[in-house]
Structure 1
C-alpha cells in the first residue's frame, strides 16, 4: 500500500512540475532593444541620436531619465543584425508625453538597417494617433492630451502570413505615473501597413519630433522565446506519452 501511494505521489509531482514548466515557457520573452529606459551613463547609448536631449523620467520605478525630442530631433535604434533576425511577431512598446502637437511627429517601424517602411504612425495636431497606408487614417483610440503621459503598445501578428497589427493605448495620466499604466484602449486586426512587402519584419524603431515636443521613455521590443516554448512543447508531449503508457 505504501509503495502504491508513493508511485501516485511521484506521478502527481511530475505532472505538477511539467505544468509549471509549460506555463513558464509561455510567459518568457526576450528583449531585443537596448537602453530603452535611457538609464545608461550616456543616456542615448545604443541609439542613433539627432538632437534629442536627456530629461526627467516619465514613469517612477527606479528610472531617472527620459529622452526629449523637439523641433526636428529624432532617435533611432537598429536592433536586428540581419533580415533573418527581423521580428515577425511580438510587441513594440513605449511611454510618451507631448508638450506640443504638430503633424510632423512620426513613429516608424521599419525592417533591418532602417529599410522598408512597415508601419508608420503619427500624432496629428489634435492629438489623434494615425497610421499611413497610401493616406492617413485614424487609429480607433482616444486622442492624446498635452502634458499627460501615455503608454502605447503595437502588437505584430504573423508578418510572414496573415499579417495584421494591433494598437493599444492607456488613458492619460498627468504628472509622473507611479507605475505601469493599464492598456485601456485598443484597435485590433489592422492591415494598414505602409509599403513593406509581406514577410518584412521589424528591425528598426524610429521616433521623429517634426515640429512638436515630446518626451519618450521605457521603450521595449519583445518576442516570445522560441527555444523555451519549444522545450515546453516537448515536455508536454513527453508527459502525454507517459500518461498513455501508464493506462
Structure 2
C-alpha cells in the first residue's frame, strides 16, 4: 500500500532524533503486545522505558529488549528500581545488571526513597560511566510546593553531573509534579525549567492527550514527550502533525480542485 503524501504537515526529523522524542512507558507488556506495536509504530518511538520494577520480574525481558532495540529504539531502566537498589546499597549491582541485560539508558530519580540532591548527583555520575542518563525532577505525591523555584537549579545540577536529559515528573496519572491534581499543566513550572536549561534538554512526562496537546501547542511538534502509553503512540504522532483537532491548523486552498 502506498504511503499517503498529499497533506502539508510539519517537518519531523528521522530517527535517531535529538529532539521531538517520544518516550513511552512500558508497564510490563508481553512480547506479543510489543511486536504488534512495533509493527505499526516503531518509527515514532525513540525511548522505551521499562517502568517501575517490572524489569526485575519480567521473564520475557531479554526477548522484549531484543525486539525494541532491533527497531532503533533506546531502552531505559525506570528510576524506581534504581532508587530501591540505591536505598539497599545495591546501586552498583543494579547498574551492572542493567548494562549486562542490554539497557543503554537509565533514569535517575529521587521520588520514591529519601535521597538528597547531592546523593542524586553522585548516582548520576556513577550511572553516566556506562549509560545515557535521564534525570527526573519532582515528587510523586500531588501538591508539590515551590517547584518553579527549585526544579531549575536541580535540572542544571543534574545536567552538570552528567545527565543528558532532564525529565519533569508527571507519573502515569498525570496529576503530580508538572501538573496539578486535576491534570492541568503548571505553566509556571514548565516555563521556569525551560528558561533554565532549554526546551530541547527536557522530556515532559505527559500521559494525557490534553497535556500532550498543550506542550505541542506551546513548543511545537518537536517537543520531547514522556510517559506516553504504549497504546497512545500513534495518537501522539497525530497530535504532533496536526492531524487531530487539538493541534490542527485549518487551512484552505483557494484553487478549486478539478475532476
Where is the strand percentage greater, Structure 1 or Structure 2?
1
TM-score normalised over the length of structure 1: 0.27
TM-score normalised over the length of structure 2: 0.26
